[in-house]
Amino acid sequence: MSAESLTRFSLNTATIKRSSLIEAISLTAHSGLGWIGLWRDRVAEVGVKEARERLDDAGLRVSSLCRGGFLSTRDPRARAEALADNRRAIAEAAELGASELVIVAGGLFDFAGAIAGRASANQYPVLTAGEKDLADARQRVAEAISILVPEALAHGVRLALEPLHPMYVADRAVLSTLSQALDLAEQFDPAAVGVVVDSFHVFWDPALRQQILRAGRTGRISSYQISDFVLPLAADSLLSRGYPGSGYIDFGTMTRWVTEAGYLGPVEVEIFNQHIWDSPAEEVIRRAKQGFLSQLQPALSSLS
């Protein structure tokens, strides 16, 4: 495998979750890669300034910063806190040289409790009928995005709306399809709001080709993130992802569509999977590269 064919591979730090930021930067650079996708909690380990210095020293560029969002809350105080946190995330992305800030919309309820207590069903809140109104929650997200747009433009950072798989609509993201994310994004400057094409979240969509082409046509593809859809679903459904080729996603076809749409940026490998997290990081990177080269690279090089 030539280094050349991995020029568009970006390693998202969530794939090697147990590595510190410093370790992740070192592993990525020593693996011959030029791109890295960062999570804010990793960056916070050393602070944004030092993170940027380390990235520059290693010659790495940041494909995206994960993540902002969780903007669907009805509670005015929680909403103000979420907006303030998103403003900080925009500033951090700018300081890190990341042009794309991944935005996860938020669900019908604050999922922090659910994350903390995932072992117990009792952690999931009981909602009133009004609190289950998805249209209302989507409207609150749209309003919050409009508030953040000027901030994003001022910092040269794009809000990358990520539709999540419909299985997460209640607890994590009321944005479920590319079509829906694009309907929202297109209300704003393409420099301010884009969309993430994440294979795991959107592969099932019957309108996928059409919506990927639409996103490309309007210059809205902020990121192409990949992991496979593995069955049976993991007990924690968030972790039901695998190396490209280990599940049921037709990466050749999807990647041709993304290429056809004109996207020539980095391709982020972002895998949430307990077994992979428990494996040595070097092995994970090796297998992620293999999956990328066998499943995606042919479709990336065919047109680009």
Binding site for a second copy (CB under 8 A): 108, 114, 118, 121, 124, 127, 129, 132-135, 138, 165-167, 169-171, 176-177, 179-180, 203-207, 229, 231-233, 235-237, 247-253, 295
Angle at 11 between CA 287 and CA 259, to 5 degrees: 90
CB of 265 to a second copy, least distance (A): 24
Nearest CB to a second copy, comparing residues 3 and 115: 115
Nearest CB to a second copy, comparing residues 51 and 108: 108
CB of 189 to a second copy, least distance (A): 23
Nearest CB to a second copy, comparing residues 76 and 121: 121
Residue 185 CB burial class (10 angstroms; 0-12, 13-18, ≥19): buried
Nearest CB to a second copy, comparing residues 62 and 173: 173
Nearest CB to a second copy, comparing residues 35 and 109: 109
Nearest CB to a second copy, comparing residues 55 and 196: 196
CB of 210 to a second copy, least distance (A): 12
Parallel, antiparallel, or unpaired: how do β-strands 241-242 and 228-229 relate?
antiparallel
CB of 156 to a second copy, least distance (A): 30
CB of 107 to a second copy, least distance (A): 9
How far apart are alpha carbons 85 and 98 in whole angstroms?
A: 17
32 strand-pairing partners? none
Nearest to 242 by CA among 232, 226, 255, 227: 227
CB of 118 to a second copy, least distance (A): 7
CB of 269 to a second copy, least distance (A): 18
Nearest CB to a second copy, comparing residues 7 and 253: 253
CB of 75 to a second copy, least distance (A): 18
Nearest CB to a second copy, comparing residues 2 and 120: 120
Angle at 137 between CA 140 and CA 207, to 5 degrees: 105
